[in-house]
């Protein structure tokens, strides 16, 4: 029986599983190889204990803050997720509208289905734009120019994808193979979800990577664009390319995928405006450390000089509080908003965000703190 009133990210996950073709659900739900890092990301936040205090005046708890110059209802942004437009009809647009209504930033993946222009036309607050460094730097320049022209002023550069991680669920579902057998497997999964087939596959067209489609021969064909994108991830990218990007992009530059204190110090030294402690949601190299375990050392490495955000395994407003107490200035969430989007569209994402804001407010209240800026290690059990 389906859940009529989802209350948690886990509830939305179950609904998404019921509504998506299996290959799409596993694409967003799965991680690299044995998924050990995927599991550790969530488990390690659960092991961080909040210190409860009583008889403190907590009248007027305020979850509001600013992230990268943008006023927010809470210190949270929606992370970039590729193919999000396949999880609901024009999914990135729906999610961006929900994020704006909830008062938090939305980040558009450069391999999203909707373009930056389409997303920003549907909202009054421009999205953040995410970039993978592609082999063809001419395409990169064109991407950046279009994002800027669409109104984007914050660029999130993902640095932990010189090559795609091995994701066994995708292999089992035939996503990484061509030919009749995997195509038949995916078609069978699609036919088992007639609601998704009609609402997204039929009514949600066009399905292409709109931000890069112009650069690809046969760019209106989804499979052709996906094949091209898969060849474009560049293992030769170094700090020199970051210096070029910092010079080319005139807005705020955020580096996403930092998991080492030495890398954090170097990133701060070359002009990154913020860092995101991230292991790509456990989707790249299995066996690397969880983000919760790496966050304190990275915060200490860059000090107050560079804002540090974190993603990976955050599943509630209580987890947001824990991240702030460990030194982050904010969090990014990926899977939870996609699960909510797949389950209930824009309304689901908005409901999830409002519930997380209330959870954060409650955590602050019972920890005896009224302002986000005052949350720190003293609010955790030693």
Residues belonging to the active site: 280
Rounded to a whole number of angstroms, the distance between the first and last alpha carbons of the chain is 42
Backbone torsions φ then ψ of 315, nearest 5 degrees: -125, 5
Pairing of strands 76-78, 107-108: unpaired
What would the two tokens of residue 328 be?
Answer: 């982050």
Handedness of CA 11, 16, 18, 19 (dihedral sign): positive
Round to whole Å and give the CA distance between 297 and 262. Answer: 10
> Rounded to whole angstroms, how far apart are CA atoms 358 and 372?
13
Coil, helix or strand at residue 286? coil
Compute the distance between CA of residue 85 and CA of residue 116 in angstroms, rounded to an integer: 13
Are 355 and 7 contacting, i.e. CB atoms less than 8 angstroms apart?
Answer: yes
Q: Are 37 and 288 within 8 A, CB to CB?
A: yes
The residues near 176 (Cβ < 8 Å, ≥ 6 apart) are 167, 170
d(CA 210, CA 86): 13
Q: Give residue 66's Cα distance to chain centre.
A: 18
On the CB side of 163, CA atoms within 13 Å amount to: 4
Q: Do 250 and 154 touch, CB atoms closer than 8 A?
A: no
Cβ(317)–Cβ(362) below 8 Å: yes
Q: Which residues contact 313 (CB under 8 A, 6 or more apart)?
A: 38, 40, 41, 42, 43, 44, 45, 281, 282, 290, 291, 292, 319
- Pair 321, 380: CB distance under 8 Å: no
d(CA 47, CA 292): 10
Counting Cβ atoms within 10 Å, is residue 357 exposed (0-12), middle (13-18) or buried (19+)? buried
């Amino acid at each position: 029986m389906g859940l009529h009133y989802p209350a948690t990210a886990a509830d939305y996950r179950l609904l998404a599983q019921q509504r998506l073709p299996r290959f799409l659900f596993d694409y967003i739900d799965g991680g690299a190889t044995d998924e050990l890092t995927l599991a550790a990301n969530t488990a390690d936040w659960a092991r961080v204990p909040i210190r409860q205090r009583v008889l403190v005046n907590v009248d007027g708890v305020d979850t509001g803050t600013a992230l990268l110059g943008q006023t927010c209802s809470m210190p949270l942004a929606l992370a970039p997720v590729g193919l999000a437009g396949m999880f609901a009809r024009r999914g990135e647009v729906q999610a961006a509208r929900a994020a704006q209504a909830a008062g938090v930033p939305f980040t558009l993946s450069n391999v999203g289905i909707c373009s930056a222009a389409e997303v920003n036309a549907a909202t009054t607050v421009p999205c953040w734009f995410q970039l993978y460094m592609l082999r063809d730097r001419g395409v990169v320049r064109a991407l950046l120019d279009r994002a800027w022209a669409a109104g984007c002023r914050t660029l999130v550069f993902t640095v932990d994808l010189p090559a795609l991680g091995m994701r066994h669920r995708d292999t089992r579902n035939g996503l990484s193979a061509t030919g009749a057998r995997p195509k038949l497997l995916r078609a069978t999964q699609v036919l088992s979800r007639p609601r998704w087939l009609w609402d997204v596959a039929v009514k949600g067209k066009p399905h292409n990577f709109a931000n890069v489609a112009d650069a690809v021969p046969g760019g209106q064909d989804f499979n052709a664009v996906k094949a091209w994108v898969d060849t474009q991830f560049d293992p030769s990218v170094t700090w020199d390319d970051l210096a070029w990007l910092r010079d080319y992009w005139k807005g705020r530059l955020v580096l996403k995928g930092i998991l080492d204190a030495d890398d954090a110090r170097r990133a701060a030294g070359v002009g990154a405006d913020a860092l995101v402690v991230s292991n790509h949601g456990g989707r790249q190299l299995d066996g690397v450390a969880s983000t919760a375990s790496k966050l304190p050392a990275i915060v200490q490495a860059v000090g107050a000089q560079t804002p540090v955000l974190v993603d990976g395994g955050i599943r509630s407003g209580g987890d947001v509080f824990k991240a702030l107490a460990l030194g982050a200035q904010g969090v990014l969430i990926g899977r939870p908003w996609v699960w909510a989007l797949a389950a209930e569209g824009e309304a689901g994402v908005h409901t999830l965000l409002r519930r997380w804001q209330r959870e954060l407010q409650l955590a602050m209240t019972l920890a005896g703190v009224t302002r986000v800026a005052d949350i720190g290690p003293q609010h955790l059990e030693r």
